[in-house]
Chains A and B, each alone.
Chain A
Amino acid sequence: MKKLYFILVLWGVKFGNILCKLFHKAGTMISGKVAVKFQKDFVKYFTNIDYDKVIFVTGTNGKSTTTNLLYHTIKTSGKKVATNTEGANMMSGIATTLIKNSNIFGKFNKEFLILEVDERSLRNIFKVLPAKNLCISNLQKDQVQRNGDPDFIYQMFKNAISKDVTLFVNNEEPRSRSLEDYAGKSIYYSMEKNSKTFEKNGFYDVTMPCPKCNHKIEYEYYNIENIGKFKCTNCNYKSVKKANVTIKEIDYENHTFKCGKDTYKVNYINPFYIYNYALVISVCKKYNIEYNDIQKGFETFKNPADRREVYNYHGKIVHYLRIKQENPETMQNALDTIARDKRKKAIYIGLYEVKDFPPAYANTFYFFDCDFKKCVSKQVEKYVCFSKTVAFDTANRMIYAGADEKKIKVYDVEDDFNKIFSDLDNLKTDNIYIITGMKPYKKIKAYLKKGDSNE
């Protein structure tokens, strides 16, 4: 009876999709939403799905990039793959993907199903779509207004993972790796020490509690903030010596690295991407996808979710770095990018109040999870802090990091970019960095495009 009802719902939404296409209306994306509204466990009734070839990708940062890269690489190798690249990563988005990739009887028509899955939806999605593979990019602080603390999400993951699942986890990320205790099999991916590896031994540097025994975790070195070779100061928990896949000999200038005997040439290269490549290689290995095919995927990959843009504004090179607000890792990544540029520069930071969920609030605490000190140097001509509500807090964060107060300018205005960028033409440096969250992105982009000589 339920199966019959499923077919009726499926026909209804597929017919709706045809009508949308006929009348050129955007609506195909909501078909999953409608289907799930009519039948809560709608996803469960699709057939011809090989669960061993269903791969979930979740985690705090890098879900979309990893999913896109994995999809692109496996597809490039000649396999038939379905994915939710549009980023619709909750139950309705996954239903939409299955509707699009099935016939009128709900028979799935691809070999692989690669899905980005929202952390909070993971458990419910596993219940109706028992994937045999789970990739976790990392588990960090994120959207605290919704997720509270990382343990809140950890408990959800723990309850979602079963012994039927093969877990692909970062050998250098203590929290997500410890989920190995709940999976049937764990595949570890890793990155060796390289030219962007760093150490932290400052008085105010902090790490995290061991997810197994609550004592202090120590890092021998970091490849990314909070990710690096670690060990617990109390129990035996540590990065394994020999991971299943290890990236080595990374050449950031020439965009190459080695994995085993193979040398890969890639489009995008930074430590975040390296971990993504490592994860994708470990998944491809499971399905015997060969080096040449993986390499082909990597070299032709274009990331639609890249958060960096470069403009030529009035003759100045403007690097626009977007971050996810309330997410220290994406912010730290932006700060690290700026810190690596040793030339003279000016830095504009627009951190706004957080409006992800009601009520909006003026959260500024994630600023202090990040290391701003790396960006403070004599090479910085000016620090400009802008936004209506938290511009003064941003300026104070710069002062706490040791920035020269005389170089700091605060604009507590809402989206008045003529004012915010009023001094830009007068700066001696031609090297400008802008960091903001998503909120002002479209407006700033439009503003910079107006003055872009290449447009």
Chain B
Amino acid sequence: MNNTVNVAWMYPDILNLHGERANAKAFELISKKMKVKLNIDRIDDIDEKVDFDKYDILLFNPGELRVINALSNILYNQKDQLNKYIKDGKIIFITGTTGALFAKNIQRLDGEVFNGLNILDMDAKERNMVIGDDLYYTFNKMDIMASQIQMIDITLNNVKPFANIKYGYGNNGTSVEGARYKNVIFTNALGPVLVKNPWFTEYLIKLACKNKKMKLKTNKISYDLERKSLASAKEFIDKKLNEK
């Protein structure tokens, strides 16, 4: 379907920690507003061989670390196809702990170390204390506001960060947030990040359209409610910073 953006919602029941099914729904709603045809397939069975060629966006929401270990073993068998998908400039959008799936090594609290897919050159280490806070950063002149529940610390090796932080913990408490290699985007921003930041959802859809040379109608969308939400959250963060 050349006039349709195809999204694979990867393992919705397995990778589902913080209401991220909303991100799939956001693709549906925002694409409608953009007047772009978009189709979402659920990939439910972790043993299913995925036909990556069919898709333009792979959506990986956060999952428990024990699940990440299992998925890493399974997806490793399809790494060549996945590498081809990435080389073609197609999009993989990854949030939260599932970043570990694309990392090199993952160290768990009990000392266990397992390998990720080594697509993003970074390492992950499970934390013994959870950090929960707001996360606010800018990317491509866009404000991105979300929450973060940090179960792992991420150290980037030879991969570029995705964004610079304005407020929050990010990868490991420094000002660095996420990672990006070609169009493989990893962010710590959890929950309905694509609902709260529809301009970012629009960016991902436009990028997918550009990849498949789909023509887009110029269509300025008003995100009044989301802009107001962003303003409230910024005010809340300012208040927190002033109280420090």
Residues of A in contact with B (beta carbons under 8 Å apart): 141, 144-152, 203-204, 206-209, 214-217, 233-234, 328, 353, 357, 359-370, 388-393, 395-396, 399-400, 410, 412
Contacts and interface: CB of A to CB of B under 8 A. Distances in A.
Given A368-B192, A412-B228, A400 B130 contact: no
Contacts of A141: 17-18
Interface in B67-86: 67, 70-71
B44 A216 contact: yes
Q: Which 10 A-B pairs have the closest CB atoms?
A: A365-B191, A368-B19, A145-B132, A392-B229, A368-B22, A151-B64, A148-B130, A365-B18, A214-B70, A365-B19
Nearest to B18: A365
Interface of B: 12-14, 16-22, 24-25, 29, 40, 42, 44-47, 63-67, 70-71, 97, 130, 132-134, 147, 149, 151, 190-192, 195-196, 225-226, 228-229, 232-233, 235-236, 240
A288 to B, nearest CB: 40
Contacts of B195: 368, 396, 400
B132 A361 contact: yes
A38 to B, nearest CB: 27
Given A204-B21, A396-B229, A400-B25, A214 B192 contact: no
Given A359-B240, A389-B232, 20 more contacts: A148-B149, A149-B17, A151-B65, A151-B66, A152-B151, A206-B16, A209-B63, A214-B70, A215-B14, A215-B47, A362-B134, A365-B191, A365-B192, A366-B18, A366-B19, A368-B21, A368-B191, A368-B192, A389-B235, A400-B195
B19 A369 contact: yes
A208 B11 CA distance: 10
Contact of B13 (A203, A207, A364, A393): A207
Contact of B24 (A204, A207, A410): A204
A362 B192 CA distance: 12
B155 to A, nearest CB: 19
A144 B16 CA distance: 13
A285 B73 CA distance: 45
Nearest to B130: A148
A360 B134 CA distance: 8
A49 B130 CA distance: 36
B241 to A, nearest CB: 10
Contacts of A363: 132, 147, 191
Contact of A396 (B46, B71, B97, B225): B225
B13 A206 contact: yes
Contact of B192 (A150, A233, A353, A364): A364
A391 B132 contact: no
Contacts of A391: 232
Contacts of B191: 363-365, 368
